[in-house]
Amino acid sequence: MKIHEYQAKEILKNFGVAVPNGRVAFTVAEAVSAATEIAGSVWVVKAQIHAGGRGKGGGVKVARSIDEVRELSSQILGMRLVTHQTGPEGRTVRRLLVEEGISIARELYIGITLDRARSKNVVMASTEGGVEIEKVAAETPHLILKEVVDPAIGFRDFQSRRLAFGLGVTGDAFKNLVKFLGALYRASPALWEGDDDPAGFTWIDIGDGDGTTFAWLRRGALPGGDSDLVVIVQNLGARARRRYWLGLPVEGPWRVAIDTDDRRYGGEGAGWRQPIAAVAVPFGGMPASAVISLPAFGTLFLRPATD
């Protein structure tokens, strides 16, 4: 899933995680309006692209007046931001996050990722990190604390407390961090948690006369628009389907997140290789559609390819 910082913070806020007051802006005028609504005397103007290292690349600036918000927004919007994760071609900045400036007493770094060797989530915490977390992992791995989460019982309070102790947090900050960690983990429900929600699963009628091809939509329980959509298309037949017409929930570009015919999964490597462009032509009960190809005995997992 690719979502921007402002989208992630909106999700976290809905689950009780404390986040700075901020607004997304797509124009300089919207950035100035956002800073005015937030009020205060210090704001942070942040480029929103799908890459880390934005601060080092010049995409995060502090403004101490509305005029400075206007000036910095005009500089960052439209710039080609190059970081260690974008490659030399960089990414064009099309949106900003304008946030209130806050006083930082101490920085701690928290993350949740998948340990593929264990097939379990891991909550990681460190007093060092940020854009240099890869360097910390390579040179001083003992500074990264980890708690493996058993999916059968979830992330427990004792694990939050153990991480807080390891980070050297005390007093009210200790209690707040334990609460923060629990809320952070609860903000990441899996798609299956929407199984009892009628909006979480929708069949897509693809009009397959042979009855060997099926498609359905999974919609995550999280807010955030198109980023939580997954369309699964499965061909159970022994022949490939060429130029197959598929209904999709939104128009625009889509990407193949998983192709079971890929050689990495033991397939023949004959899967879909072209960009998928859904147009505003209703089909299969969906408002948009695209023409794709399906490998024999193959499954495609599709996601919107948003900026």
Q: CA 278, CA 246: separation in Å to the nearest integer?
A: 9
Q: pLDDT, tens digit, for every residue of 103-126? A: 888 888 888 888 878 878 899 999
Q: If pLDDT is split at 50, 70 and 90, which confidence band does 95 have?
A: very high
pLDDT at residue number 220: 64
Whether the CB-CB separation of 216 and 229 falls below 8 Å is answered with no
Q: What is the CA radius of gyration of the chain?
A: 22
Q: What pTM does this model have?
A: 0.60
Q: CA 43, CA 221: separation in Å to the nearest integer?
A: 32
The token duo for 55 is: 């601060």
Whether the CB-CB separation of 93 and 117 falls below 8 Å is answered with no
User: What is the crossing angle of helices 171-186 and 157-166, to 10°?
Assistant: 130
Whether the CB-CB separation of 88 and 31 falls below 8 Å is answered with no
Whether 301 has a pLDDT exceeding 80, the answer reads yes
Q: CA 250, CA 286: separation in Å to the nearest integer?
A: 8
The token duo for 300 is: 């495609």
pLDDT at residue number 25: 95
Phi/psi of residue 224, each to 5°?
Answer: 125, 15
DSSP 161-228: HHHHHHTT--HHHHHHHHHHHHHHHHT---GGGGTTSGGGEEEE----TTS-EEEEEEE-SS-SGGGG
Q: If pLDDT is split at 50, 70 and 90, which confidence band does 262 have?
A: confident
By CB neighbour count within 10 A (0-12 exposed, 13-18 middle, 19+ buried), where does 217 fall? buried
Q: CA 265, CA 188: separation in Å to the nearest integer?
A: 26
Whether the CB-CB separation of 115 and 148 falls below 8 Å is answered with yes
Q: If pLDDT is split at 50, 70 and 90, which confidence band does 284 have?
A: confident
Whether 225 has a pLDDT exceeding 50, the answer reads no
**For the chain, what is the largest distance between any 2 Cα atoms, rounded to a whole number of angstroms?**
66
Question: Which among 8, 5, 11, 97 is positioned nearest to 51, based on CA atoms?
Answer: 5
For residue 41, the SS3 value is coil
Q: Which domains does the chain have, with CATH numbers?
A: 5-100 (3.30.1490.20), 109-188 (3.30.470.20), 194-304 (2.60.40.1180)
Contacts of 218 by beta carbon, 8 Å cutoff, 6+ apart: 191, 194, 200, 201, 229, 230, 231, 232
Q: Which of 70-84, 214-228, 250-264, 275-289 has the lowest mean pLDDT?
A: 214-228
The token duo for 250 is: 């939104």
pLDDT at residue number 270: 59
Q: CA 181, CA 201: separation in Å to the nearest integer?
A: 29
* Pairwise pLDDT comparison (25 vs 230), residue with the higher score: 25
